[in-house]
Structure 1
Amino acid sequence: MKNVKLIIEYDGTLYSGWQIQDNAITIQEVLENALNSITGEQIKVVGSSRTDSGVHARGYVCNFFTESKIPPDRFRDVINSKLPKDIVIIESEEVSLEFNSRFCSKGKTYSYTILNRMQRPAIGSNYVYHYRNSLNMEAIREAMSQFLGTHDFSAFKSTGGSAKTSIRTIKSFEVVKKDDYIIFYITGDGFLYNMVRIIMGTLIKVGRDKIDSCSIKDIILSKDRNMAGPCLPGTGLCLEKVYY
């Protein structure tokens, strides 16, 4: 028995997220179908997290157990031959039998990209959130600093998640502006259901002076979802890296 770890890049546009669902196509389903075809086994893949519909990944991590005689490092090329163009295995390797891509994770980095201009994008619309109005970047940066540290992020989660606790630690939060593109990078030990997208929605309201930049700590302490901003679309969100 071998435990094989995969690092995957995928475009989530045509999929209803990572996790298998009854009435929708997901990344996990497509990957498991490819593995079952290759190995002749009924393989169940363990994912490092659940990404939602339309969300992308550059460094998603998963693992699976197999009796196959295919060398672990060869799984990358063999699986890629069975996958559609919008899913690709970047790396495959054997890991210890105790490794679990979800429970062994020490943290993740996500990016969220906003196209901030009047005109909608003709290219790459599936990878950005288009926002027309000008944004106060100084206020946004001030608000970002208040997310750092360990907090109860109940105000920044959607209902329906399965997390046992809402306490999370944000280790770093950075923003880069490239012409009309604003790219946020947030790293934490874990994230609640829709947490990053709600944080981004809150920052939009800060940038439009709808929420005071100094009130983020008060929103966190309130634990009240109604105090935070909206949940932005998944198109701008990308899982960049999972840490172990």
Structure 2
Amino acid sequence: MRTIKLTIEYDGTRYSGWQIQPNGLAVQQVIEEALERLLGEAVRLRSSGRTDAGVHARGMAAAFATHRDLPLRAFVEGTNRFLPDDIAIIDAVEVRAGFKPIKDALAKHYRYTIRVSPVRSPLHRFHAWHVKDQLDLAAMEAALSAFTGRHDFAAFRASNCVSRTTVRRIDSVAMSREDDFIFIDVVGEGFLKNMIRIMVGTVVDVGKGRFAPDHIAWLLQNRDRKKAGVTAPACGLCLMEVFYPPDDGKGEELPISRPAAF
């Protein structure tokens, strides 16, 4: 029995999220059906986590077990033949038996994209949050710096989040701008439901002048979701990469001080 780890890219616009569910088409379901057509056997993908409806991925990691003795390129090229245009297998590596994509992950890198413009863009509507107001970028950078480290993120989770603990470690947060686009890159060990989207929504409220930059530190201390900002739209969020120890399927070293290069 072999264990194969896939790196997957997808546009999440028309999907109900990563995980199979009774109501709606999930990315996981589409890939499992494609693998079954390739392998002639049913497989179950175990992923590095979930993405919500409308969230995208450039580097989702998922693994499955198979008896088939195919070359690794066949898991990429062969599976892609049965996938729609908005999902693709980017890479496949064989990993050790017992590899667990979610438990073995060191950290994940997410990127949130904001487009600041008085006029909406039809071409970017599914991949960026359109914000009409001009934003105070210096205030936003000052606010973002408070997130780094290990904190209680109770103020930055969805009301239906079922995680037993709200403490999470953030390794790095960085913001950059290119023309009308603002990119917020977050690397951390794991995230609560809607955590990054609420972080971004709150920081955008700082940029609009609704909150002072030190409000982030106050929220981390007081844990009050009602005093945080809006939940940013799903369309702007993308899972860029999942980091593993180097011996776990050609994993990459974890970038502690900066986001991954791309």
TM-score (norm: length of structure 2): 0.91
Report the RMSD for the aligned CA atoms in angstroms: 1.0
Q: Which residue of 1 aligns with 2:238?
A: 238
C-alpha distance after superposition, 1:79-134 (max 9, x if no partner): 01110011010101110012111111110010011110100003121100000011
> What residue identity is the alignment partner of 2:183?
I
Which of structure 1's runs of 4+ aligned residues deviate more than 4 A? none
Question: Contact 1:73 / 1:94 at 8 angstroms: preserved in 2?
Answer: no
Task: State whether residues 113 and 129 of structure 1, in contact with CA within 8 Å, keep that contact through their aligned partners in structure 2.
Answer: yes
Q: What CA distance in whole angstroms lies between the structure 2 residues aligned with 1:103 and 1:159? A: 24
For residues 46-96 of structure 1, the C-alpha deviation after alignment (integer angstroms, 9 at most, x for no partner) is: 011110111111111000011122223421111011100110101011100
Return the alpha-carbon distance in structure 1 between the equivalents of residues 37 and 6 of structure 2.
17
Deviation for aligned residue 1:136: 0.7
Separation in 2 of the partners of 1:228 and 1:122? 29
Map residues 37-48 of structure 1 onto 2, 5 A cutoff: 37-48=37-48
Match of 2:259 in 1: none
Taking structure 1 as the reference length, the TM-score comes to 0.97
Q: Write the mapping of 1:203-242 to structure 2, written as runs, cut at 5 A.
A: 203-242=203-242
Q: CA deviation at 1:9?
A: 0.6
Structure 1 range deviating more: 142-151 or 163-172: 163-172
Map of 1:138 onto structure 2: 138
Deviation of 1:214 after TM superposition, in Å, equals: 1.1
Contact 1:13 1:55 in 2 (8 A): yes
Query: Pairwise mapping of residues 179-218 of structure 1 onto structure 2 (< 5 A)?
Result: 179-218=179-218
Contact 1:73 1:93 in 2 (8 A): no
Q: Which runs of 5+ in 1 are unaligned?
A: none
CA distance in 2, matches of 1:96, 1:73: 18
SS at match of 1:126: coil
SS in 2 for 1:60: strand
Structure 2: runs of 5 or more not aligned: 245-262
Deviations 1:192-235 (A, max 9, x none): 10000000100111011111111211111111111111111110
- Correspondence for 1:151: 151
- What amino acid is the match of 1:172? S
Note closer, same or farther for the CA distance 1:162–1:73 as it changes in structure 2 (3 Å cut). Answer: farther
Query: Counterpart in 2 of 1:169?
Result: 169
- For residues 161 and 60 of structure 2, what CA distance do their matches in structure 1 show? 19
1:89 counterpart residue number: 89
Judged with a 3 Å threshold, the aligned counterparts in structure 2 of structure 1 residues 161 and 67 are, in CA distance, closer, same or farther, namely farther
* Number of residue pairs aligned between Structure 1 and Structure 2: 244
What CA distance in whole angstroms lies between the structure 1 residues aligned with 2:122 and 2:19? 30
Per the TM alignment, residue 151 of structure 1 is displaced from its structure 2 partner at its CA by 0.3
Residue of structure 2 equivalent to 1:103: 103
2:8 maps to: 8
Q: Which residue of 2 aligns with 1:67?
A: 67
Cα deviation 1:12-63 (Å, max 9, x = unaligned): 1111110001020010000011111222222110011110111111111000
Provide the rounded CA distance (Å) in 2 between the counterparts of 1:113 and 1:101: 26
- Corresponding letter in the other structure for 1:70: L
Query: What SS does the aligned partner of 2:143 have?
Result: helix
